[in-house]
Amino acid sequence: MNTTDRQIAFSALSCLLSYPDEEWRAELPEWKALIHDISNHQIREKLLHFIEALACFSSEALIEHYVYTFDFGKKTNMYVTYFHSGEQRERGVELLHLKNTYQQSGFLQTDKELPDYLPLMLEFAAVAEIEAARSVFEKYLSNVRELASRLGKNDSIYAELLHVLLAALGNIGVRESVEGAVQA
């Protein structure tokens, strides 16, 4: 996956996995145009398919599905450290480590979301050096796989995006780390 594909794919995934408010809906045509520029056929087509599938949802129905899936679902939330740490103290250490990794890479995160919020991690992956993005996701690859599996079992429209993410991560060389495999 070339740099432009990586930037567009991870940025698009970050956006598409964000809260689907009116501003989000208004940006979809722009994202669709950008996604057409992705040279990786599989990733491009799956992202476009997801956007087309959104037409089956009213704004209210999509918001309801999103909130039910990610905000109320402890087993399907988008805070990737939560899968193995929950509310335990160790999670705080992981969050601090992620925040430091972002800062060392020059990525300025807002205090709006915790560092392990998947759309934020994807923003980082879009702009960071590939090695830094790979390092972050190798640690949490099993958690992302778990989220994909749980979304699939719940027949969530968002399961498709997690499968695209897993394909994109594989394309940048993300492999299960020993540390990530032990924690899961």
Question: 17-45 pLDDT, tens per residue?
Answer: 999 999 999 999 999 999 999 999 999 99
Q: Is the pLDDT of residue 2 over 60?
A: yes
Joined together, the tokens standing for residue 55 give 């037409």
Per-residue pLDDT of 45-74, as tens digits, reads 999 999 999 999 999 999 999 999 999 877
Output the CA torsion 9→10→15→17 (10° steps). 100
Averaged pLDDT score across all residues of the chain? 91
Say whether pLDDT at 181 is over 90.
Answer: no
Mark 104-126 as b/e (b = at least 16 C-beta within 10 Å). ebebebeeebbbbbbbbbbbbbb
Q: How confident is the model at residue 177 (pLDDT cuts 50, 70, 90)?
A: low
Contact 76, 154 (CB under 8 A): yes
Confidence at residue 159, expressed as pLDDT on a 0 to 100 scale:
97
CB 132 within 8 A of CB 173: no
Residue 72 confidence (pLDDT): 85
pLDDT band of residue 86 (cuts 50, 70, 90) is low
Residues in a beta bridge with 117? 79
Domain boundaries, the chain: 3-183
pLDDT at residue number 83: 75
Query: Is residue 133 within 8 Å of 160, Cβ to Cβ?
Result: no
Listed in sequence order, the DSSP H helices in the chain are: 3-16, 22-35, 41-53, 59-66, 82-85, 89-104, 118-127, 130-153, 159-171, 178-183
Token pair belonging to 147 = 């989220």
| Contact call for residues 137 and 131 (beta carbons, < 8 A) | no
Q: What percent of the chain has pLDDT over 70?
A: 93
